[in-house]
């Protein structure tokens, strides 16, 4: 029997669940129970969450953690992090504490320009098109005035509108390349509304508009964050060797894309966790960051480090189109709380904080990778997850935590120790 359905969106939430359970779970009543277990007991809050997306049937919880002791530009922060992976918050906390006694993190925004494009096809003469564009340009700004007037008052709006000839890349392809300042909003909806108004004004019989959309590639919405200290202050056991291997680890990422992708994934552990906690769009951030890492045509590290005249310096440069207003930022009660925890930053300050979270995470990963190896710390944090999967009791859990205090933790080793414990009973 077909499991497709018309008009699903019109069903109530309970009807949607019943349809799902009967078609994909063999009418297993436990499925409905699990879904409903995650509903918020406060119906007002549940309604709020239901409305964030479409066809909502439940909530999917992720842990909300905090990493204290971040000092950024001389100010103390506790950073909210939403992530499913163990050891990320611990690592951020460890590194925050480490650098808080070495001058803290310094961060600054380099630029905040966003981009949107009207993509169109035109088969005629290029000079004629340019003349048409020049004759229309003022009007293109004018038709967006209703949309941009408040943004202008905040110091933002449309910065430039440019005609670009892309016919060497694709036959008949041109674009209006538009740059924006969107102040404290990420700006996606604002930019798209402006672009659609521009396209509408620009089109005529021999100009075929294909689409109008913002770009998530924002190399000019860029932030820099760094830490530095004397090499001998770095690592108790052998500072010089630590610094050298740390720099080599980045050189390896720059030489080898397989390593660079994992290196940057570690950075995004920190970035995404704060992006999600503050209700920002992590897909946009991910896409933009990886495109930036590949800007030379070769995928590289987003961080860099040097040792010069006995000083170790480690920094990140990353594009981050973020909002502290708009989207879910002030709608989701927990994003609102996260922003308050960060002292209600401007979008620029949030760029600095999130770049620092990425840098800290990379420091933790490279520190572990070039010294003890990643598994020691990571598996120490992951141990409780493995124990839970085994269905251990509280008493068995404590036994296993104590047992692995001075032993190497692997999934198999934990399973074996558990089986032995249960078998011995
Ligand atoms: C895991 C640690 C921090 C342990 O490090 P440790 O030295 O064993 O920790 P500790 O028990 O001595 O505690 C020191 C501090 O660490 C923090 N800390 C320690 N434990 C906790 C905890 N349970 N909860 C909260 N915070 C914790 C906390 O700040 C604590 O200070 P305190 O609070 O006591 O004043 C360390 O080994 C580490 O940083 N490892 C790296 C972990 C990491 O990078 N994880 C990311 C996931 S792996 C991955 O996805 C990316 C990767 C690695 O592939 C990227 C790449 O390849 O580049
Ligand atoms: N490709 C992409 O990345 C796309 C993303 N989106 C989504 O769009 C949303 C973000 O769009 P936005 O336009 O930022 O949000 P939004 O549509 O909620 O608008 C934010 C609005 O807040 C107002 N505002 C108040 N105070 C402001 C201040 N200080 N600075 C700036 N604006 C202020 C402005 O009118 C601004 O347009 C996110 O949810 C994102 O996921 C939507 C389409 C495409």
Nearest ligand to the C-alpha atom of residue 283: 2
CA distance 181 to 192: 13
153 lines ligand 2 (CB under 6 A): no
91 lines ligand 2 (CB under 6 A): no
Please list, in sequence order, all residues whose beta carbon lies within 8 angstroms of the beta carbon of residue 11, skipping any fewer than 6 positions away: 19
Any catalytic annotation for residue 411? no
Nearest ligand to the C-alpha atom of residue 360: 1
Q: What burial letters (b/e) apply to 335-344, b meaning 16+ CB within 10 Å?
A: bbebbeebee
pTM (2 decimals)?
A: 0.94
**Pick the catalytic residue: 226, 281, 349, 352?**
281
Give the residue whose CA is nearest to atom 56 of ligand 1.
Answer: 263
Which residues of the chain fall short of a pLDDT of 50? none
187 lines ligand 2 (CB under 6 A): yes
Q: Specify whether 238 is located in the same domain as 363.
A: yes
Q: Specify whether 188 is located in the same domain as 97.
A: no
Which residues does ligand 1 sit against, CB inside 6 Å? Answer: 85, 87-91, 93-94, 97, 262-263, 265-266, 269, 364-365, 368-369, 374, 377-378, 381
The structural domain count of the chain equals 4
Give a yes or no: residue 1 inside a domain: no
Task: Identify the CA nearest to 216 among candidates 276, 271, 292.
Answer: 292
142 lines ligand 2 (CB under 6 A): no
Structure confidence by residue, pLDDT tens digits, 358-412: 999 999 999 999 998 888 877 888 888 899 999 999 999 999 999 998 888 899 9
Do residues 384 and 110 make contact, with C-beta atoms less than 8 angstroms apart? no
The pLDDT score that the predictor gives to residue 375 is: 80
Question: DSSP letters along 152-213, please?
Answer: HHTT-EEEEEEEEE-TTTSTTEEEEEEEEE-TTB--HHHHHHHHHHHHHHH-BTTEEEEEEE
**Residue 88 C-alpha to ligand 1 middle, in angstroms?**
7
Tokens linked to 414: 């934990």
Residue 306's H or E segment, with its range, is strand 303-308
Residue 215's H or E segment, with its range, is strand 207-215
Q: What is the DSSP letter of 90?
A: H
354 lines ligand 2 (CB under 6 A): no
Give a yes or no: residue 3 inside a domain: no
CA distance 410 to 386: 9
Tokens linked to 401: 């935590």
Q: Specify whether 193 is located in the same domain as 300.
A: no
Question: Which atom of ligand 1 is the closest one to the Cα of 69?
Answer: 29
Give a yes or no: residue 57 inside a domain: no
CATH number of the structural domain spanning residue 207: 3.30.70.420
Q: Specify whether 167 is located in the same domain as 230.
A: no
Nearest ligand to the C-alpha atom of residue 180: 2
Any catalytic annotation for residue 18? no
Any catalytic annotation for residue 119? no
**Residue 374 C-alpha to ligand 1 middle, in angstroms?**
10
Question: DSSP letters along 53-85, please?
Answer: SSS--S-----EEEEEEEEETTEEEEEEEE-SS
The pLDDT score that the predictor gives to residue 325 is: 97
Give a yes or no: residue 70 inside a domain: yes
Give a yes or no: residue 397 inside a domain: yes
- Domain of residue 405, residue span: 377-424
Any catalytic annotation for residue 332? no
Cα dihedral value 414, 415, 417, 420, nearest 10: 170
Do residues 214 and 221 make contact, with C-beta atoms less than 8 angstroms apart? no
- For residue 179, the cross-strand partners are 115, 160
- State which of 181, 288, 327, 345 you would mutate to test the pocket of ligand 2, scoring each by most atoms of that ligand within 8 A of its C-beta: 327
Give a yes or no: residue 229 inside a domain: yes
The last residue of a domain, from among 215, 240, 263: 215
Q: Specify whether 122 is located in the same domain as 93.
A: no
Q: List C-alpha distances in Å: 385 to 61, 85, 93.
A: 16, 10, 20
Token pair 């992590």: residue: 282
Q: Specify whether 76 is located in the same domain as 151.
A: no
Q: Specify whether 299 is located in the same domain as 364.
A: yes
ipTM: 0.94
């Amino acid at each position: 029997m077909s499991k497709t359905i018309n008009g699903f969106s019109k069903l109530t939430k309970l009807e949607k669940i019943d349809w799902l359970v009967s078609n994909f779970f063999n009418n297993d009543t436990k499925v409905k129970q699990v879904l409903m277990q995650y509903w918020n007991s406060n119906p007002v809050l549940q309604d709020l969450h239901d409305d964030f997306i479409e066809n909502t049937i439940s909530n999917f919880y992720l842990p909300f953690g905090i990493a204290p002791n971040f000092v950024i530009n001389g100010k103390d922060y506790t950073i909210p992090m939403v992530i499913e992976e163990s050891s990320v918050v611990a690592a951020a906390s460890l590194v925050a504490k480490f650098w808080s006694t070495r001058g803290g993190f310094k961060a600054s925004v380099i630029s905040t320009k966003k981009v949107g494009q009207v993509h169109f096809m035109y088969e005629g003469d290029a000079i004629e098109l340019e003349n048409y564009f020049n004759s229309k340009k003022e009007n293109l700004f004018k038709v967006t005035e209703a949309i941009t007037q408040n943004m202008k008052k905040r110091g933002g709006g449309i910065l430039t509108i440019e005609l670009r000839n892309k016919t060497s890349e694709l036959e008949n392809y041109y674009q209006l390349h538009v740059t924006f300042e969107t102040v404290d909003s990420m700006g996606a909806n604002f930019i798209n509304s402006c672009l659609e108004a521009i396209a509408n004004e620009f089109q005529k019989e021999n100009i075929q508009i294909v689409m109008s959309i913002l770009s998530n590639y924002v190399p000019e919405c860029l932030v820099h964050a760094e830490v530095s200290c004397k090499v001998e202050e770095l690592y108790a056991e052998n500072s010089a060797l630590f610094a050298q291997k740390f720099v080599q680890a980045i050189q390896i990422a720059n030489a080898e894309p397989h390593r660079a992708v994992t290196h940057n994934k570690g950075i995004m552990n920190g970035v995404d966790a704060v992006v999600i906690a503050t209700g920002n769009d992590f897909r946009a951030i991910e896409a933009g960051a990886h495109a930036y890492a590949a800007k030379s045509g070769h995928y590289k590290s987003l961080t860099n480090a040097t040792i010069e005249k006995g000083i170790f310096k480690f920094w990140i440069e990353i594009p981050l189109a973020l909002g502290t207003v708009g989207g879910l930022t002030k709608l989701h009660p927990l994003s609102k709380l996260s922003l308050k925890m960060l002292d209600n930053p401007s979008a620029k300050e949030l760029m600095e904080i999130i770049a620092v979270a990425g840098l800290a995470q990379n420091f933790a990963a490279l520190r572990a990778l070039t010294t003890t190896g990643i598994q020691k710390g990571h598996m120490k944090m992951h141990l409780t997850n493995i124990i839970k999967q085994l269905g251990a009791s509280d008493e068995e859990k404590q036994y296993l935590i104590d047992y692995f205090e001075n032993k190497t933790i692997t999934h198999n080793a934990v399973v074996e120790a558990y089986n032995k414990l249960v078998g011995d009973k």
